[in-house]
Structure 1
Amino acid sequence: MKFVINKKIFEKFEGLNLGVIIAKNISNKGINEEILNKIKEKEEFIRKNYKTETLSEHPKINCWRKVYSIFGGEPKKNKSSIESLYRRILSGEKIRHINILVDIYNLLSIKYMLPIGGEDIDKMQGDIELTFANSNEAPTILLGEKEPRQPHEGEVIYKDKISAICRRWNWREAERTKLTEETKNCILVIEGLHPTTKEGIEIVTKELKELTEILCGEKISYCILDKNKTDIEF
């Protein structure tokens, strides 16, 4: 299996770097209170130091708004995953426990203000690709929805042989490949645009790898993908 980034993505969106973690034979059951407490601490920090009214002006939020505008993602209506997390926190909402993997990447996502997501690779077929949607993409059911919807032509999606697994780049993941307590093998992706550097992405990726090894265990590897290295085989 491969994860491949369409080279046209790098041509269209300069300065893109992705940290990719492949975790195999892991345990994703249970709750880690230390991680949940750290999430609460970060929530309190965010509420004290950020405001809803000016959040969209922050460089790490605004960069995704610009990208969404380029591919027709309607950023005022459809927020990037990191902007959605911050807005939920600023509205007083608490990030709830999902499972250990999701808790870990939610913590690092709000800590570093970067979109991070993960998928169960045992639920996928064929290679994974980050690319532009074509006009005949298969409809897919997204998290929190009951009816399948087709991606719009030209929007940035993650997909496998069956259908999209995440729409509008990092806006919303598919129900089919979500991480659960039963997940044994997964891919985690950290996404960085300017002003986040390649070195910055590597720092976050290493921290996510280390936490995943400590809390979930077993065979975990990582790499950084950019315009010079556009795929990883696992």
Structure 2
Amino acid sequence: MEIQVSSDLFMEIPNFKLGVIEYKGITVGDSPQMLKGRLQMFQESIFFELEDKTVTDFPGIKEWRSIFKKLGKDPNRYRPSAEALFKRIQKQNYLSSVQSAIDINNFFSLQYQVPIGIYDLDCLEGPVEVRVGVEGQEYIGLNGRSNSLDRLIIASDLIGPFGSPFVDSVRTPVTLDTKNALQIIYLRPSTDLENANRLTESLMNMFIQIHGGEGTFRVLG
């Protein structure tokens, strides 16, 4: 799948980086107990950490809020998806296990403090471009609402926008029937290239360990 970042986005957010992973021949199912246990324990650890700090004290959350604000979106109204996860944990509304692909997404999103999207590759019509949305663009999101994409970072294929570090659309989610997937890690721009590659590869390796199949990764930016 051809994936590119628009030059306009690079102009607005210097050092913008994406980790991109493509999976082939995976099997999505119930999460193994190892993943369920790690997800639960990590959420409890974050909850106790939040007794002495606020969600916006976490460097990844803070950096992604600043990106939304720079692009013209109020981060108090349009929270980066990773921040929304932290807010749930702060209220002890812990994330329960959904299925293996979503659980890994949530686990690494909490660990890296960045938004991560995963999409059914067979629902996409390439090429894919990551850019800034414009006025009038919207889609029904996984939050069940129609979401304006104006001035949000979006991932778009030939059909139209399908993903964002705010909320993804209902058009391309990974399900139990998914065999091929595209994962996009909205890395912190401050992350150096060596660590960006290391983080992306680490996620890919754990995903393949659980789902089988094959994966390839690269960092754009």
TM-score, L = length of structure 1: 0.87
How far residue 136 of structure 1 moved from its aligned partner, in angstroms, is 5.0
Secondary structure at the aligned position of 1:172 is classed as coil
Name the structure 2 match of 1:109: 109
Secondary structure at the aligned position of 1:206 is classed as helix
Matched, 1:220 2:215: yes
Matched, 1:97 2:97: yes
Q: How far apart in 1 are the matches of 2:213 and 2:57?
A: 40
Q: How far apart in 1 are the matches of 2:213 and 2:121?
A: 16
Candidates 157, 162, 168, aligned match of 1:160: 157
Q: How far apart in 1 are the matches of 2:52 and 2:11?
A: 32
Identical aligned pairs, as a percentage?
24
Secondary structure at the aligned position of 1:165 is classed as strand
Q: How far apart in 1 are the matches of 2:24 and 2:187?
A: 24
**Structure 1 residues 103 and 123: alpha-carbon distance in aligned structure 2, compared to 1, 3 A threshold:** same
Q: Which runs of 5+ in 2 are unaligned?
A: none
Q: How far apart in 1 are the matches of 2:136 and 2:219?
A: 31
How far residue 5 of structure 1 moved from its aligned partner, in angstroms, is 0.9
Does the 8 Å CA contact 1:52/1:90 hold for their aligned counterparts? no
**Structure 1 residues 82 and 52: alpha-carbon distance in aligned structure 2, compared to 1, 3 A threshold:** farther
Name the structure 1 match of 2:35: 35
How far residue 118 of structure 1 moved from its aligned partner, in angstroms, is 0.7
User: Residues 25-174 of structure 1 correspond to what in structure 2 (within 5 A)?
Assistant: 25-51=25-51, 54-135=54-135, 137=137, 139-145=138-144, 148-152=146-150, 154-166=151-163, 169-174=164-169
Secondary structure at the aligned position of 1:94 is classed as coil
How far residue 53 of structure 1 moved from its aligned partner, in angstroms, is 6.1
Does the 8 Å CA contact 1:191/1:201 hold for their aligned counterparts? no
How far residue 189 of structure 1 moved from its aligned partner, in angstroms, is 1.4
Q: How far apart in 1 are the matches of 2:58 and 2:143?
A: 28
**Structure 1 residues 67 and 51: alpha-carbon distance in aligned structure 2, compared to 1, 3 A threshold:** farther
State the 4+ residue runs in structure 1 displaced beyond 4 angstroms.
none
Does the 8 Å CA contact 2:132/2:153 hold for their aligned counterparts? yes
Candidates 186, 189, 195, aligned match of 1:191: 186
* CA-based RMSD: 1.9
TM-score, L = length of structure 2: 0.92
**Structure 1 residues 185 and 71: alpha-carbon distance in aligned structure 2, compared to 1, 3 A threshold:** same
Q: How far apart in 2 are the matches of 1:70 and 1:126?
A: 28
Q: How far apart in 2 are the matches of 1:102 and 1:17?
A: 22
Q: How far apart in 1 are the matches of 2:205 and 2:123?
A: 24
How far residue 72 of structure 1 moved from its aligned partner, in angstroms, is 2.0
Q: Which amino acid aligns with 1:106?
A: N
Name the structure 1 match of 2:176: 181
Using the TM superposition, name which of 74-83 and 194-203 deviates more.
194-203
Aligned residues: 221
